[in-house]
Structure 1
Amino acid sequence: MTKPILKNKERIDQLFSTDVKIIQNKDVFSYSVDSVLLSRFPKIPSKGLVVDLCSGNGAVGLFAATQTKAKIVEIELQERLADMGRRSIELNQLENQVTMVEDNLSNLLDHVPRSGVDLILCNPPYFKASVHSKKNLSPHYLLARHEVATNLEDICAVSQQALKSNGRLALVHRPERFMEIIDTLKKYKLAPKRLQFVYPKQNKEANMLLVEAIKDGSLEGLKILPPLIVHKDNGEYTDQVAAMYFGTDAQPQAYMYVLECADGSLYTGYTTNLKKRLKTHNAGKGAKYTKSRLPVKLLYWEAFNHKNAAMKAEKRFKQKKRAEKLAYIKSQTDESQ
């Protein structure tokens, strides 16, 4: 991979189940779980032409690129995001496969042949634009989240024109717009064929909807897939989602740990390397609290598939009283035996 030129506040994130790296900037745009789910939802054609509409910084199309030899055209209206996408394409050395086009999606047929696209991926603005909209002050997020520059109707209309007969459109959207989505797809002869509701946690309401439709397909045979749960109760990804992020053979990415200090007190932290962190603590360099209470020993730890989950577990554990902490450790240790 080539070394990219990062601009102010930019960082590089990686989907660890692949080698793909994405240039991100939280002030402008950052891909989230919806982009990952969309890139893994439809069957990606092995060859042909794939289009990523409303591509943002190009994450969905780049994630899809690892699954196919098809040419991928990404369409993004915002100059800043399109620039980030182009540099991510260069970073991953995918210039021969992926192209970023800075344009309104209504001009899609200026860049791809009519009735020539095998698959369209789209992570569109979710919210209708109105005087009552809770609009983000950032113009980048305003366009990404609200139907200002495009809307569901425009997306379905241009998809109908660009897709081959039996070509497919895959969308991620909001469940509360389910009926509107189905009606609009049918209006443009895009037959819904696969549908999956996504839930942030068990027993929570769905907050995302994945839909796949086929151009000129029969309106019969819609499949409702099993619910997809994103997080376990402890905040880490479920096994299905973790596999998308880290691969099926992924090792733990982070740990919440509890130390017993020389004076009997407890210290809680998180780390990505338990052995190294314990050694650092006992060298007097781990934390101000443990430095005066050496030596320390590892009393308990939990493994997580991403750092944020370990940090949340650390925060929850620190809120417990000492007796509650010891009772929790005992209950978890007893369960594992």
Structure 2
Amino acid sequence: MTKPILKNKERIDQLFSTDVKIIQNKDVFSYSVDSVLLSRFPKFPSKGLVVDLCSGNGAVGLFASTRTKAKIVEIELQERLADMGQRSIELNQLQDQVSMIEDNLNNLLAYVPRSGVDLILCNPPYFKTSKSSKKNLSPYYLLARHEITTNLEEICAVSQQALKSNGRLALVHRPDRFMEIIETLKKYKLAPKRIQFVYPKQNKEANMLLIEAIKDGSLDGLKILPPLVIHKDNGEYTDEVFAIYFGKETGPRAYMYVLECADGSLYTGYTTDLKKRLKTHNAGKGAKYTKGRLPVKLLYWESFNHKNAAMKAEKHFKQKTRAEKLAYIKDKTDTAI
């Protein structure tokens, strides 16, 4: 299955540092930066068994599939989210490695051997429930974000039962629950080993933390990693986060470019060689669209350190109206040719 049927309001998104595609629906569930960071944080076993608790639409486990050859079991209580995850598994043709289970995580041992799991990943509900809780109107997000069907205590208890001795639990959570997280981990003989605080911008308070614990491990040797900042002051990703989303620079720079055709229309593409690509277009070999609208001239370009970033910029630019495209180019005249 390479093209699953999308349901109402669904779309397919991709983490551009990988080939993995995820079925999303903003009204039901969409992964965010916390899922991406969690899938890149822990030390992955080269083989064995990995479990993704509270898996939502399966993003964490699917992203993790690029970092290990281990079998990955995802478990999600909500039928709608589990269905999205299953179709994403099929979309990526990962059925031999990744499986989705629709069930309560308290039943995990019905699907995996006790003390048989090498790594557990969990992006859990962050918020305790109370009468004053700020609850999302969507029932899907309500269950995903608030401790209604599970909580930190249950997650640690299940992890303690399922993990091998020296197996690892990796969580992404809220800094305001840091002390509770540490105490709960210790209660279930899960020794915290690596912690990283995540900040939306410099000089802002941390709004996430990543933590990795080892079952039956020593309480000595805890490492506090350098802080991870998500955005620069101008709103762009920091270099570290950009590399997570788009991959490190592995080859020549890439470009999103805009051509003005002979009939005045605009064409957008990406390339790693602007001069060669322009010559190819004017030779009638660049694209079917430009072939009948020659000659073309280079109107604008942007440079990126990875082709996937250029492809994303191309995609976003194509979604603009002609007026929006021209306004965008005008605003960026200092970088245009």
> Structure 2 length normalisation: TM-score?
0.79
The residue matched to 1:273 in structure 2 has which SS?
A: strand
1:63-74 map, 5 Å: 63-74=63-74
Q: What's the C-alpha RMSD, in Å, of the aligned pairs?
A: 3.0
1:27-176 map, 5 Å: 27-176=27-176
Structure 1, unaligned stretches of length 5 or more?
255-271, 287-295
| 1:67 Cα offset (Å) | 1.1
Note if contact 1:243-1:250 (Cα within 8 Å) is conserved in structure 2.
no
The residue matched to 1:244 in structure 2 has which SS?
A: helix
Note if contact 2:256-2:313 (Cα within 8 Å) is conserved in structure 1.
no
1:241 match: 241
State how far apart, in whole Å, the 1-side matches of 2:301 and 2:216 are: 58
State how far apart, in whole Å, the 1-side matches of 2:31 and 2:252 are: 22
Note if contact 1:12-1:21 (Cα within 8 Å) is conserved in structure 2.
yes
2:4 partner letter: P
Distance 1:297 1:229, change over 3 A: same
State how far apart, in whole Å, the 1-side matches of 2:208 and 2:252 are: 27
State how far apart, in whole Å, the 2-side matches of 1:252 and 1:77 are: 44
1:8 match: 8
Query: In percent, how many aligned pairs have the same letter?
Result: 77
Note if contact 1:123-1:172 (Cα within 8 Å) is conserved in structure 2.
yes
The residue matched to 1:39 in structure 2 has which SS?
A: helix
State how far apart, in whole Å, the 2-side matches of 1:122 and 1:181 are: 13
1:175 partner letter: P
1:214 match: 214
State how far apart, in whole Å, the 2-side matches of 1:301 and 1:60 are: 31
1:32 partner letter: S
State how far apart, in whole Å, the 2-side matches of 1:19 and 1:302 are: 22
User: Does residue 1:20 correspond to 2:35, yes or no?
Assistant: no
1:265 match: none
Note if contact 1:252-1:303 (Cα within 8 Å) is conserved in structure 2.
no
User: Does residue 1:279 correspond to 2:260, yes or no?
Assistant: yes
| 1:165 Cα offset (Å) | 0.6
| 1:236 Cα offset (Å) | 1.7
| 1:82 Cα offset (Å) | 0.3
The superposition leaves residues 142-165 of structure 1 with CA deviations (integer Å, 9 ceiling, x where unpaired) of: 000000100111100110011011
2:286 match: none
Note if contact 1:21-1:91 (Cα within 8 Å) is conserved in structure 2.
yes
Distance 1:22 1:301, change over 3 A: closer
State how far apart, in whole Å, the 2-side matches of 1:96 and 1:298 are: 47
1:205 match: 205
State how far apart, in whole Å, the 2-side matches of 1:111 and 1:279 are: 58
1:165 partner letter: S
The residue matched to 1:168 in structure 2 has which SS?
A: strand
1:279 partner letter: E
> Structure 1 length normalisation: TM-score?
0.79
| 1:285 Cα offset (Å) | 3.7
| 1:18 Cα offset (Å) | 1.1
How many residues matched? 293
Distance 1:252 1:170, change over 3 A: farther
2:260 partner letter: K
State how far apart, in whole Å, the 1-side matches of 2:126 and 2:118 are: 24
| 1:249 Cα offset (Å) | 2.4
State how far apart, in whole Å, the 1-side matches of 2:298 and 2:19 are: 37
Distance 1:248 1:76, change over 3 A: same
Structure 2, unaligned stretches of length 5 or more?
267-296, 318-323
The residue matched to 2:156 in structure 1 has which SS?
A: helix
State how far apart, in whole Å, the 2-side matches of 1:230 and 1:68 are: 25
State how far apart, in whole Å, the 2-side matches of 1:213 and 1:100 are: 24
The residue matched to 2:99 in structure 1 has which SS?
A: strand
